[in-house]
Amino acid sequence: MSITLPHFADTQPFRAFRADPQQWLPTALDIAHSRGIDVSAPHVFSTGTNLVVGLGDTLILKIFPPLLRAQFVSERGSLMQLKGRLDLPIPEIVAEGERDGWPYLVITRLTGALGSEVWPRLAEAQKERVLRQIGETIAVVQRVPLGPLAEIEPRWGAFMRAQMQGCRHRHTRLGLAPKFLAGLDDLLRDAATLIPMDAPPVILIGEYIPENFLLACHDGDWSLAGLFDFGDVRAGWRDYDLLGPSAFMAAGRPRRVRSLLEGFGYTNPDFALKRLLMALMLLHQASDLNSHICIEGWQEQANNLVELQELIWAE
């Protein structure tokens, strides 16, 4: 017997609910059963934002709480818009519906090893190879027409202006060191002119990070094998999607940085590009430098934001 899915006014009680599958798995299995899907071997995914359960080897059910309906809209719209337009596999929508006001998607399950499990043990040359492929993939995705994704709110200009207004408060709350906060006003002034607000927008995935892609090994070479999780997609300026791999994967190593940027289409990044990327990194929807910059001892290696941008995008 399924349990009625509850209503949550904010994300904190929802996270507690998600963390206890006994409270929602019976309903998830009932949804799958109602679709004629085999539920004999479910696998609950503990990470992620929404309720996610694997159904055998071929399907995944994602259930979105009403307060995160925007993620459902982004995920559904992205999978439909990108279908057949990429060489890299992405999930396909098998079914969709709603239960107790919670929208859901049944999507195909991709094959490959989760990037976050493989990335730490890759040889340096393999990491450079994968980062080049990520840069190339970002560029390919951004060549796909926006279609209905152009209507996702907030629009780029409004989103950036809101991020700028809350930037100092956000990073003060997150404990960014005073020496970096001291240069924030200057950077935000530069950002107002460096960041294109009205340029033709492109599809932004928002999180090209190891948790959201799959890798496979062929003849000793690791390559991207799949891309998933499109709940944070928006439309906006193209460079925004370089931030995730820059922070989580490039680690300030010149050859890795070069591989990512060249794959994307940039060569010899100048001061203005690095300044733009530094601004976007501080303005990113999920920005938290203390948690996200994967350069050991970066707080001691840089004395201000200019030195930090040179450290992150080292040549």
Q: For residues 95 and 16, state if they share a domain.
A: yes
Q: For residues 147 and 24, state if they share a domain.
A: no
Decide which of 108, 138, 159 is a domain's last residue.
108
List CB contacts of 146: < 8 A, sequence separation 6 or more: 81, 201, 202, 203, 235
Rounded Cα distance, 258 and 269, in Å: 9
Tens of each residue's pLDDT in the chain, 315 residues = 567 899 999 999 999 999 999 999 999 999 999 999 999 889 999 888 999 999 999 999 999 999 999 999 999 999 999 999 999 999 999 999 999 999 999 999 999 999 999 999 999 999 999 999 999 999 999 999 999 999 999 999 999 999 999 999 999 999 999 999 999 999 999 999 999 998 999 999 988 999 999 999 999 999 999 999 999 999 999 999 999 999 999 999 999 999 999 999 999 899 999 999 999 999 999 999 999 999 999 999 999 999 999 999 998
Per-residue pLDDT at 207: 87
The verdict on residue 2 lying in a domain is no
Q: For residues 187 and 252, state if they share a domain.
A: yes
Domain extent, residue 239, equals: 113-312
Query: Could you tell me which of 39, 87, 81, 49 has the C-alpha nearest to residue 207?
Result: 49
Q: For residues 101 and 131, state if they share a domain.
A: no
Per-residue pLDDT at 3: 77
Decide which of 108, 136, 158 is a domain's last residue.
108
Q: For residues 164 and 308, state if they share a domain.
A: yes
Q: For residues 82 and 127, state if they share a domain.
A: no
Q: For residues 137 and 279, state if they share a domain.
A: yes
The verdict on residue 4 lying in a domain is no
Per-residue pLDDT at 46: 84
Rounded Cα distance, 304 and 198, in Å: 30
Q: For residues 294 and 195, state if they share a domain.
A: yes
Q: For residues 185 and 78, state if they share a domain.
A: no
What CATH number is attached to the domain comprising 289?
3.90.1200.10
Rounded Cα distance, 212 and 227, in Å: 6
Tell me the backbone φ, ψ of residue 232, rounded to 5 degrees. Answer: -110, 15
Rounded Cα distance, 64 and 51, in Å: 7
The verdict on residue 259 lying in a domain is yes
Total number of domains constituting the chain: 2
Per-residue pLDDT at 2: 61
Rounded Cα distance, 11 and 22, in Å: 19
Tell me the backbone φ, ψ of residue 110, rounded to 5 degrees. Answer: -80, 160
The verdict on residue 88 lying in a domain is yes
What CATH number is attached to the domain comprising 69?
3.30.200.20
The verdict on residue 186 lying in a domain is yes
The verdict on residue 146 lying in a domain is yes
Q: For residues 275 and 146, state if they share a domain.
A: yes
Decide which of 75, 93, 108 is a domain's last residue.
108
The verdict on residue 3 lying in a domain is no
Q: For residues 149 and 74, state if they share a domain.
A: no
Tell me the backbone φ, ψ of residue 248, rounded to 5 degrees. Answer: -90, -20
Q: For residues 81 and 152, state if they share a domain.
A: no
